Structure 1
Amino acid sequence: MLFNSTCEAFYKPVSFFYNITGKPISPNWRTHDFIVVGLGLPICVFIILANMLVIVAIIINRKFHFPIYYLLGNMAAADLFAGISYLYLVFHTGPWTIGLTIKEWFIRGALINMSLTASVVNLLAVAVERHQTIFTMQLHSTMTRRRVVMLIVTIWLVAVVMGLVPTMGWNCVCDLSTCCTVAPLYSRSFLVSWAILNLMAFFIMVAVYTHIFIYVRRRSRVMSPHTDQPSNNQTVISLMKTMSMILGAFVICWTPGLVILLLDGLSCSQCQVLKYEKYCLVLAECNSLVNPIIYSFRDEDMRNTYKRILCFPWRRMRQHEGPSGIRFKPVKAGAPSEKNSCNSTSLEPSSPQSLLFS
């Protein structure tokens, strides 16, 4: 266990584990340290702002009070937590790592593990929800709010467990021969298990979306004599586009990091995992920025809600000021509406299909 005082290595500094695994650690700033911090900070800011915008939009717009949007909101919360966790990591990496205690090092790792696991499991949950919606031909998911809440709680329980498991014992503090190189205090077996679980989630997502694609294409062929063929083709094309964006973003952002973890866990001494591990971590975090774009920005009602949120301060100023900047009392009735993007709203309720076929 981590807090077992009888373990001699528990009292060693963090640099001790870095030295025995061969991972360089220096009190001086190196080139790649500046690159990681320089790339990490703006990415974290964008992740936090983008996912905050998604959460606020779902809260204020009653059209989004359906299971699919609850899952999207939870995914945005996971990605927001990922941005905050990585921001914490950025300020505790490089030369700052030497000053960390073992407990602080494990807290840093637990935050990253929890946030990234929650993000991946949320992606899987949304894929399953879309599968259910398409195959039942419903405008909205048949899941009750209770089931959605239970699903969200399960997602976070899985994330918390995966984050705390190495902290509570599955580590190499008391068994130095099992220490890995990328994360010197983690056991190789844990690293391999974590990578395999995420790869399994990836393959499940591929299977789910492939099944949806086959079903939609087969259904479009059956319905083609009775409906407009161009409309059916457009549906299939839109589905393929969405699938490509979802799976492509996941593959690009996660595969390099998962491969690095697997190679390190399998003790590949000639793979030069340290040369690429920090850049792979930054790339994996980019998935938390891409998710709001894929799952939310493709929804027209969501985009209109973003405009309302972002233009709210400007609209308030226009209501209280005249053309010359003189303030007037707000008009209570009969005020003409402004024709601009800040006041545009959608009158039709959105459906989960708009997320998939828009």
Structure 2
Amino acid sequence: MNECHYDKRMDFFYNMSNTDTVDEWSGTNLVIVLCFGTFFCLFIFISNSLVIAAVVKNKRFHFPFYYLLANLAAADFFAGIAYVYLMFNTGPVSKTLTVNRWFLRQGLLDTSLTASLANLFVIAVERHMSVVRMRVHSNLTKKRVTFLILLIWAIAIFMGAVPTLGWNCLCNISTCSSLAPIYSRSYLIFWTVSNLVVFFIMVVVYLRIYMYVQRKTNVLSPHTSGSISRRRTPMKLMKTVMTVLGAFVVCWTPGLVVLLLDGLNCTHCGVQHVKRWFLLLALLNSVMNPVIYSYKDDEMSNTMRRIMCCSSDDKNQERRSSRIPSTVLSRSTDTTGQYIEDSIIQGTISGKGNS
């Protein structure tokens, strides 16, 4: 019968897994990591708070797509909290942690990743619904969007708690991984493979949606009389989403591959020497997203700037920003809110007239 080690501290498990690189998180290396981590975390908190505030403040963002985008910013904000907790519980401190504190440290990181991934998947579903119905925005109600957001966080919290609930190696030391000394290798394989599969599915879905929107836009553009910015709105939304997804995949895939190699018990892959840099790369993803939002969407950028400047003359700012192309179709500039659907009708009428 296997002996369980719930009362042991983490130094016992690090020693059993022959993890020596934990001592490298000290001295100059630790100071550098903490400095960069502190700067990135502050930027994550401020920038993602601005994104959420912009969606709440600007009525042009009161659509399902932007509610989900705000929830993705909330997931990035949560990731910042997870990294702060990690910074104060890493290096030499790691060996002094209790099993429960180490589970909390890793569970926060796993929850933040799952929340971001699930949110991107739901955004993919929302974009698909919009494209199929030939609309810029889906007709999801606020109740359904709220339910989806709550479901995303319920799944994320559950996935983050799975090792704590029993899928660990506390009672079977021989199955412990090297990077995560109290996670079983079978769990690492399951977790990384499932995430990588979802990555692949989302990339395929977004590529198909992107090509569909591009094809429809090219076909319908000659039959429409709308402005250029209006005709490009569906494509601009898709480019924003695909840029966010691309950054997510690039930042998280290396770390997941390293965890997979560790789960497969690859003793010659040198996973210990790259883990800290891939962790910083994952942190960089939460920094990049707000930059992508503001760079790809002029309306988002202007709203965030107004919030930072605390301008009292919102009406003048609104008039000035309305002359700048935006990825949002306001009710005042698009009375129907159905660009592609209207284009089909106009194209059909003009086609009959020519015949």
Q: Per-residue deviation at 1:297?
A: 4.3
Question: 5+ residue gaps in structure 2?
Answer: 335-355
2:60·2:328 contact (CA, 8 Å) conserved in 1?
Answer: yes
Q: Residues 97 and 83 from structure 1, CA distance in 2 versus in 1: closer, same or farther, beyond 3 angstroms?
A: same
CA deviations over 1:235-262 (Å, ceiling 9, x no partner): 7985785466234312320111011011
Q: Between Structure 1 and Structure 2, how many residues are aligned?
A: 327
Q: 2:11 aligns with which of 10, 15, 20?
A: 15
Q: 1:250 aligns with which of 248, 272, 288?
A: 248
1:133·1:140 contact (CA, 8 Å) conserved in 2?
Answer: yes
Which residue is 1:26 aligned to?
23
Which residue is 2:39 aligned to?
42
1:27·1:98 contact (CA, 8 Å) conserved in 2?
Answer: no
Of 253-262 and 231-240, deviating more is 231-240
Which residue is 2:201 aligned to?
204
Q: Distance in 1 between matches of 2:307 and 2:241?
A: 29
CA deviations over 1:93-140 (Å, ceiling 9, x no partner): 001212211111111111111111101111222222122212312242
Q: Distance in 2 between matches of 1:28 and 1:199?
A: 28
Q: Distance in 1 between matches of 2:178 and 2:184?
A: 10
2:107·2:161 contact (CA, 8 Å) conserved in 1?
Answer: yes
Q: 1:293 aligns with which of 276, 291, 294?
A: 291
1:180·1:188 contact (CA, 8 Å) conserved in 2?
Answer: yes
Of 35-44 and 275-284, deviating more is 35-44
Q: Residues 262 and 36 from structure 1, CA distance in 2 versus in 1: closer, same or farther, beyond 3 angstroms?
A: same
Q: What one-letter code is carried by the residue in structure 2 that aligns with 1:50?
A: S
The alignment partner of 2:259 has SS state of helix
Q: Per-residue deviation at 1:207?
A: 1.4
Could you tell me the percent identity over the aligned residues? Answer: 48
2:272 pairs with 1:274: yes
2:136·2:233 contact (CA, 8 Å) conserved in 1?
Answer: no
2:164 pairs with 1:167: yes
Q: 2:86 aligns with which of 85, 89, 92?
A: 89
2:88 pairs with 1:98: no
Which residue is 2:342 aligned to?
none
2:37 pairs with 1:59: no
Could you state the TM-score of these two structures normalised by the residue count of structure 2?
Answer: 0.82
1:72·1:295 contact (CA, 8 Å) conserved in 2?
Answer: no
The alignment partner of 1:167 has SS state of helix
1:14·1:102 contact (CA, 8 Å) conserved in 2?
Answer: yes
The alignment partner of 2:223 has SS state of coil
Which residue is 1:325 aligned to?
none
Q: Per-residue deviation at 1:88?
A: 0.8
2:82·2:109 contact (CA, 8 Å) conserved in 1?
Answer: yes
Q: Per-residue deviation at 1:76?
A: 0.9
2:78 pairs with 1:78: no
Q: 1:177 aligns with which of 167, 174, 177?
A: 174
1:307·1:342 contact (CA, 8 Å) conserved in 2?
Answer: no
Q: 1:283 aligns with which of 275, 281, 300?
A: 281
Question: 5+ residue gaps in structure 1?
Answer: 1-5, 317-336
Q: 1:114 aligns with which of 104, 111, 126?
A: 111
Q: Residues 300 and 121 from structure 1, CA distance in 2 versus in 1: closer, same or farther, beyond 3 angstroms?
A: same
2:204 pairs with 1:226: no
Could you state the TM-score of these two structures normalised by the residue count of structure 1?
Answer: 0.81
C-alpha RMSD of the superposition: 3.2
Of 212-221 and 91-100, deviating more is 212-221
Q: What one-letter code is carried by the residue in structure 1 that aligns with 2:179?
A: V
Q: Residues 205 and 341 from structure 1, CA distance in 2 versus in 1: closer, same or farther, beyond 3 angstroms?
A: same
1:58·1:64 contact (CA, 8 Å) conserved in 2?
Answer: yes
Q: Distance in 2 between matches of 1:164 and 1:244?
A: 30
Q: Distance in 2 between matches of 1:62 and 1:247?
A: 25
The alignment partner of 1:165 has SS state of helix
Q: Per-residue deviation at 1:231?
A: 5.3
Q: Distance in 1 between matches of 2:217 and 2:62?
A: 30
1:36·1:279 contact (CA, 8 Å) conserved in 2?
Answer: no
The alignment partner of 1:290 has SS state of helix
The alignment partner of 1:197 has SS state of helix
Q: Per-residue deviation at 1:221?
A: 4.4
Q: Distance in 1 between matches of 2:216 and 2:59?
A: 32
Which residue is 1:260 aligned to?
258
CA deviations over 1:146-182 (Å, ceiling 9, x no partner): 2111111111111011111101111111110110011
2:164 pairs with 1:186: no
